[in-house]
Structure 1
Amino acid sequence: MGNRFICMKKKEANENGSRSKRMVRSQRKMLSEEEFLHRQALSMALHQHQLSQRFEGSMSRRIGSTSFRRRNLPDDLLSNEKQPPDFLEKIKTKNFILIHGEGFGAWCWYKTIALLEESGLFPTAFDLTGSGIDLTDTNSVATLAEYSKPLVDYLRGLPEDEKVILVGHSSGGACISYALEHFPQKISKAIFVCATMVSNGQRPFDVFAEELGSAEHFMKESKFLIYGNGKDKPPTGFMFEKEQMKGLYFNQSPAKDVALAMVSMRPIPLGPIMEKLSLTPENYGSGRRFYIQTLDDRALSPDVQEKLVRENPPEGVFKIKGSDHSPFLAKPQSLHKILIEIAQIP
């Protein structure tokens, strides 16, 4: 009886010991996973910090100088298709200037920047005034000229014999239209990505009227308006609630990119998008324009985009299936392929 009791105690001790070892291993595994997640988060934070470095001059941010190496790219960014060895020879203008849309910042182009650099091209992304990490109060940005100042300053400083390819997203289309009017000789091609490609005398806001209602109604009734100068003064900006933004802009984008957007989006200045553009046939009309349509877009519907290209015909129209209003997040490879294709057009 005594021996059996001793054996039972030994067995129990062994079981307790095994259980303790399993618990220790489990805890070590959890700590290891936590450490991995911590390191991953730290790496992402450092990467974002590198992206948001401020450069001198009026340029809020020039991401084009940040280097991306292939080994650092997520798998979904790596292209399975090898570019033909001579494709760069077909591209006369290798400098891409990426202009974000309303509420966004230069940060939204991070996948496009990586892909263009991997292809041997030279992308530069700006924070427009009051956007991204630019410190200007959004409520103080009253005109399209003020809003577009980082782009204008850059183009004004370009050497006479140098040209760029402009890429504008959403209301950033108004900025590249403005640039086409004032610097036609410095722009090789202008690419409108589900953008407000307005006609002469039209306001960028008018393009969104189907979704937001008339400008007059919006200015009086919208619950998203911001009154930076006081309730007794006209509104200065607006910003959608997070759930509305997700539904309008990011209905096909990856969850991680939506999370990034939710902490990065900023209020939209009203002045620039309510301003009528003055565009002439001699300047704006002489530019080479291309349009990229997004076919699962809830902010600027495919029908509205079709109407834009019908009323103000560009040189070429391209379409991305399954993309929301943010193709640089939802369909970066498809967007990249089209940008390269347009760049190669003689």
Structure 2
Amino acid sequence: MAASDAKQRRHHFMLVHGMCHGAWRCGAPATAPALDMAGCGAHPARLADVRTFEEYSRPLLGAVAALPAGEQVVLVAHSHGGYSVALAVERFPDKVAVAVFVTASMPAVGRPMAATSDEDLTLGLMLIKPANAFTTGNPDEVVMRDEKLLTEEGYGSSWRVFVVVEENCGIPAEFQRRMVAQSPGVGVRVITGADHMAMLSRALELVQLLIRIADHSQA
């Protein structure tokens, strides 16, 4: 590959973890910073002090907002991280080359983000480690319930790709495809032999897939 081509194919990734987890890399290059959402991983805030989904997602929103003019990022969400990525795309559609949902929650335009929550899944994950789904029981939460939040002009204008994992016991394949069906035009890729933690069970395959998706976004 020529030097000019290599430079053109250099991508800026941001990886967004799911509920109960923290930053993940899955063997990605140094151009793929993995962010801790507020109250998670090594983030200094206590989860109990993070009252709203807006506060929870601020590390990602701040990172995307800080991108230099003209630079675009490939946002990669895992599991519950899909909500934060959707919010970032809605706020900064011009800064996102493609949003990739790796067996992640993928809300649809014109519906509240909380509408894609699977209550059994949420309960199960909350029993593993303290977490906050930001969907019920909090009078301060408005973002997750706002049916007008995600628009065609913002979130809907970005290229989105959903990575289906058939062997996922956390979010069953049927539920993954139901989310895809609610968002016409979303690209679909499949990873076989992986479980919900695809970045661990099929790390190299996932990295290669993300690079191909990112390459396509520049084609």
Which protein is bigger by CA-based radius of gyration? 1
Aligned partner (choices 327, 330, 338) of residue 209 of structure 2:
338
**Number of aligned positions between the proteins:** 207
Deviations 1:182-238 (A, max 9, x none): 0111111111111110113233474323x34xxxxx8xxx6x7xxxxxxxxxxxxx7
Check if 1:100 corresponds to 2:17. yes
User: How many angstroms apart in 2 are the aligned matches of 1:195 and 1:307?
Assistant: 12
User: How many angstroms apart in 2 are the aligned matches of 1:152 and 1:344?
Assistant: 24
Contact 1:194 1:293 (C-alpha < 8 Å) held by counterparts: yes
Question: Residue in 2 aligned with 1:234?
Answer: none
Contact 1:194 1:300 (C-alpha < 8 Å) held by counterparts: yes
Alignment of 1:244-323 (within 5 A): 266-271=129-134, 275-277=144-146, 278-323=149-194
Question: Residue in 2 aligned with 1:202?
Answer: 112
> Partner letter of residue 111 of structure 1?
C
Check if 1:141 corresponds to 2:50. yes
Contact 2:36 2:43 (C-alpha < 8 Å) held by counterparts: yes
The normalised TM-score by structure 2 is 0.85
Distance 1:315 1:272, change over 3 A: same
Contact 1:171 1:204 (C-alpha < 8 Å) held by counterparts: no
Question: Residue in 2 aligned with 1:239?
Answer: 126
The normalised TM-score by structure 1 is 0.55
SS in structure 1 opposite 2:20? coil
User: How many angstroms apart in 2 are the aligned matches of 1:337 and 1:90?
Assistant: 17
Q: What is the root-mean-square deviation of aligned Cα atoms in Å?
A: 2.3
Deviations 1:295-332 (A, max 9, x none): 11111100000111111134421011111111001110
SS in structure 1 opposite 2:26? helix
Deviations 1:149-175 (A, max 9, x none): 011111221111111110011110000
Question: Residue in 2 aligned with 1:156?
Answer: 65
Question: Residue in 2 aligned with 1:69?
Answer: none
User: How many angstroms apart in 1 are the aligned matches of 2:202 and 2:37?
Assistant: 23
Deviation at 1:272, TM superposition (A): 5.8
Check if 1:128 corresponds to 2:15. no
User: How many angstroms apart in 2 are the aligned matches of 1:308 and 1:206?
Assistant: 7
In structure 1, list runs of 5 or more residues that go unmatched: 1-83, 213-217, 225-237, 242-265
> Partner letter of residue 112 of structure 1?
G
Contact 2:116 2:179 (C-alpha < 8 Å) held by counterparts: no
> Partner letter of residue 19 of structure 2?
E
Aligned partner (choices 88, 93, 100) of residue 191 of structure 1:
100
Distance 1:164 1:153, change over 3 A: same
User: How many angstroms apart in 2 are the aligned matches of 1:124 and 1:130?
Assistant: 18
Deviation at 1:90, TM superposition (A): 5.6
Distance 1:178 1:315, change over 3 A: same
User: How many angstroms apart in 2 are the aligned matches of 1:315 and 1:206?
Assistant: 16
Higher helix share: 1
